[in-house]
Structure 1
């Protein structure tokens, strides 16, 4: 269903297709990008019917409505999420689900879910590409399977990932622009017709990506009494997807897809020595995988291995169902680092405490460190933990030629993304009695739980201490503590 929720008068809620059918997609009371807002840590409230509503609240209400429509029962629920979701997003998502679901909630990244959904084609110890192309995002992951001895499970390790914010909705807008120019329509003419025209264009795109060569789109404008009509063709759609566009950094959709795949391959080769020739199959997920010519781009790039696109709509859901009740060991795709003072550099540096590639859930602490007081008589100590992820991106090089800029090549740039887990309260450790400079006061251990969240175990070595940590909720936990999710601190 479309990720839409609309707040109407009298606190009435519409979700998914109900919002589209009512022509309320662009209404101020509609939230449509709540997931992206949360992933980007944007929770700016919007005033609707006299009340402030945040993207996070809208997403929680949407999840609640979906679970209510599904019956809300059952003993176990598997929730899929993007490969590189941060702890704050994972923790929020689990909490939002638990508001309406009282059973066991398990989290699974979408790349592994896709592999599980295509399980009959998967073999142990092999490298595969997961190509997830939806309405608004493209996510490419290189996966290696391992440890297939435990029943029918398919444990996976993410070797590399690349992504772009492109999808089928962008193509719909290009086709709408084509129709608007061909029929000499103003923006108001398009607004008058509403979402019905966009739906008709999306349907034409789907049919042209199938086996139809021409599709006529018609829509009557009640306000101007004008019949809007336009013929879309498969050849025209292919030209649209082959056209270089400024919003795609001067590339066509096909070329950007190929470039994104190449970035993921380069990342796997640089970090693990994995070559393109080692890829055994490509698995496609997401409705935009069926877009005209997309599978051909993948087959041209991987001519020596099969490209599977049998059922991209259900692959991830089917994999999540296979995951339910199974014990699958997964691996981190980012580092957890502790911000530590370097005396020689006289600056803070990031020290990995749980490195990328660590399999989770961890049975014991992956790393134990002493935590000491920095000044005499300290009563509060802090730990600053950062999630660090890296993604290779292309960067075009230009030179001035004849008074104009000319592209002369492309180099790869590694973008490092950092996100602190506890920016609200870094000093959550309360010492009683106070600390002494130079004394090894605390032992901290770090691990990762089944929901891919960093955990902290902490012990005060001072005999008879009354030390505690204070959670963000205000609750106090006396030391020692064991495997407490760090995002709760």
Structure 2
């Protein structure tokens, strides 16, 4: 059955949905041989584990194939790719004589999944929709574009995950009502306050406020891993721990999934070191997991994400009391204590969970089929300029987070000056500014693969944090203004106006103040997020 496709590439699992024009609804696709059911009871849905293995023969195994071959924790297996790509990780692993990065592995995985989905749904040539976290930077969306090109997909759209979830809930939401989409997946947590509107062409989703944090199910796996080592008096640098670190992480993830089922009260983690015969083990019950999450301030961080989204919505005239319901999304939202956190904020009667594992993919398929929504820019964007009096680079905001698009009027106007005599080529360096989440003496950590192929816990340095919160988006082409005749140092040479089009592109119109002419009109500079 042909249909538009929605692809939710997740940190832990990837979900695919196809739109059926006859029923005007989306259905989750099963990809035989690659997928597996995930969830509990009537919440089970078909997913493809976001994992790829490169064999010694340089073949690729994907998803459930990796599990079936018992290679989930083997060398040459890549997982959590989305998170490393989003953080621009420099990690590389030597496999079959070549260095493979998460960007490479993610591209090989997702391009193959796209081809499989198009074949399964008989959707070759149809438009697809890919999802991205609200906190993602332009480089991640660019990477998705490269993947679709590698897969031979010529028509694709991007939608942020909470907005896709709002569209995916479909019949469960009513026009004129406000909802909070709470999406807690493998790599991120996101909250979006949305207003559902009725239009001539059907319903649309207007995003009132949204926020996110780079914490997810894989973070919880890391905390369980650290707790396991602490209880056994071990360190991730111990040789025997290094040998079994991958297997330990698999068991930590399994324990988390088991304890996400309200019917389960405990889980056992146990891994045998084949070289020494020693067993590293831990019993983890529900109270122990909740205490672990509380010690790492998970619930406080979830609360802060929700409050930030609500504050953003309040600037548009909507507050917490206007929220009709909280709609839970993502595998980590199934953890009972996570749901209780939302119930504590909004009350039990306003928190709902209906197929949280595939609602994003189904909404993405609806978006690919033409269901619309009104959105705004998520991050601040700033122009870097050189202050001659201090000798330092400074930043001036040109687009503020929350700006609606497309813009009817210029969103920012500025003057570009020459920095030296006889200058002909002048440029504008535009930076995307994320939120620095480190506060006070708080120390962030993450799991990384060392050169020996073992997992270890590493601190996220202030330089790492700075690099992840500030990104030069037009680094490859910052210079595009040409002064004829050449300009002198300090001379105001161009007046530029910024606007935003329907595709979230930042457009520039430049006026030559000396020549008295327009040199650029609606010139696309960068893609905003």
* CA contact 1:285–1:309 (8 Å) conserved in 2: yes
Structure 2 CA distance for aligned equivalents of residues 369 and 148 of structure 1:
39
Structure 2 CA distance for aligned equivalents of residues 154 and 102 of structure 1:
26
Partner of 1:471: none
* CA contact 1:220–1:226 (8 Å) conserved in 2: no
Q: Which has the larger Rg?
A: 1
Structure 1 residues 460 and 154: alpha-carbon distance in aligned structure 2, compared to 1, 3 A threshold: same
Partner of 2:402: 357
* CA contact 1:106–1:451 (8 Å) conserved in 2: no
Partner of 2:337: 293
Structure 1 residues 460 and 125: alpha-carbon distance in aligned structure 2, compared to 1, 3 A threshold: farther
Give the counterpart of 2:67 among 11, 15, 20. 20
Structure 2 CA distance for aligned equivalents of residues 354 and 60 of structure 1:
31
Higher relative contact order at CA 8 Å, sep ≥6: structure 1 or structure 2? 2
Partner of 1:401: none
* CA contact 1:284–1:309 (8 Å) conserved in 2: yes
* CA contact 2:326–2:350 (8 Å) conserved in 1: yes
Count of paired positions: 446
Structure 2 CA distance for aligned equivalents of residues 147 and 63 of structure 1:
33
Partner of 1:411: none
Structure 2 CA distance for aligned equivalents of residues 218 and 374 of structure 1:
62
Q: Are 1:374 and 2:419 an aligned pair?
A: yes
CA offsets per residue over residues 431-481 of structure 1, 9 Å max, x none?
A: 44423457654343323355544344446566699x9xxxxxxxxxxx636
- Unpaired stretches in structure 1, ≥5 consecutive residues: 398-414, 468-478
Q: Are 1:69 and 2:116 an aligned pair?
A: yes
Partner of 1:309: 353
Partner of 2:99: 52
Structure 2 CA distance for aligned equivalents of residues 77 and 295 of structure 1:
32
Structure 1 residues 393 and 129: alpha-carbon distance in aligned structure 2, compared to 1, 3 A threshold: farther
Give the counterpart of 1:80 among 112, 120, 131. 131
Q: Compute the displacement of 1:227 (Å).
A: 13
SS of 1:312's equivalent in the other structure is coil
SS of 1:379's equivalent in the other structure is strand
Give the counterpart of 1:238 among 268, 271, 286. 286
Structure 1 residues 190 and 388: alpha-carbon distance in aligned structure 2, compared to 1, 3 A threshold: closer
Partner of 1:470: none
Partner of 2:526: 486
* CA contact 2:84–2:102 (8 Å) conserved in 1: yes
Q: Compute the displacement of 1:422 (Å).
A: 2.9
* CA contact 1:86–1:387 (8 Å) conserved in 2: yes
TM-score by length of 2: 0.70
SS of 1:375's equivalent in the other structure is coil
Structure 1 residues 61 and 481: alpha-carbon distance in aligned structure 2, compared to 1, 3 A threshold: farther
SS of 2:499's equivalent in the other structure is strand
CA offsets per residue over residues 369-400 of structure 1, 9 Å max, x none?
A: 44333333112212111112336666589xxx
CA offsets per residue over residues 83-112 of structure 1, 9 Å max, x none?
A: 021122212221221221333211101111
Q: Compute the displacement of 1:366 (Å).
A: 3.0
SS of 1:154's equivalent in the other structure is strand
Give the counterpart of 1:320 among 364, 369, 386. 364
Structure 2 CA distance for aligned equivalents of residues 65 and 382 of structure 1:
39
Q: Are 1:277 and 2:277 an aligned pair?
A: no
Structure 1 CA distance for aligned equivalents of residues 252 and 94 of structure 2:
32
Structure 1 residues 329 and 162: alpha-carbon distance in aligned structure 2, compared to 1, 3 A threshold: closer
Q: Which deviates more, 328-337 or 26-35?
A: 26-35
In the TM superposition, 1:57-456 aligns within 5 A as 57-71=104-118, 73-123=124-174, 126-137=177-188, 139-145=189-195, 148-149=198-199, 151-167=201-217, 170-171=220-221, 174=224, 195=247, 206=257, 209-210=260-261, 212-213=263-264, 237-244=285-292, 251-252=294-295, 256-265=298-307, 268-269=310-311, 272=314, 275-303=319-347, 305-324=349-368, 325-341=370-386, 348-362=393-407, 365-390=410-435, 395=440, 417-424=469-476, 426-436=478-488, 441-456=493-508
* CA contact 2:134–2:210 (8 Å) conserved in 1: no
Structure 2 CA distance for aligned equivalents of residues 266 and 464 of structure 1:
45
Structure 2 CA distance for aligned equivalents of residues 367 and 176 of structure 1:
47
SS of 1:446's equivalent in the other structure is strand
* CA contact 2:162–2:181 (8 Å) conserved in 1: yes
Structure 1 residues 209 and 387: alpha-carbon distance in aligned structure 2, compared to 1, 3 A threshold: closer
Q: Compute the displacement of 1:80 (Å).
A: 0.3
Q: Compute the displacement of 1:71 (Å).
A: 2.9
Structure 1 residues 211 and 5: alpha-carbon distance in aligned structure 2, compared to 1, 3 A threshold: closer
Q: Are 1:39 and 2:86 an aligned pair?
A: yes
Structure 2 CA distance for aligned equivalents of residues 67 and 421 of structure 1:
27
Structure 1 residues 451 and 191: alpha-carbon distance in aligned structure 2, compared to 1, 3 A threshold: farther
Structure 1 residues 318 and 338: alpha-carbon distance in aligned structure 2, compared to 1, 3 A threshold: same
Structure 1 residues 433 and 62: alpha-carbon distance in aligned structure 2, compared to 1, 3 A threshold: farther
Structure 1 residues 199 and 230: alpha-carbon distance in aligned structure 2, compared to 1, 3 A threshold: same
Q: Compute the displacement of 1:240 (Å).
A: 1.9
- Unpaired stretches in structure 2, ≥5 consecutive residues: 1-47, 443-465
TM-score by length of 1: 0.75
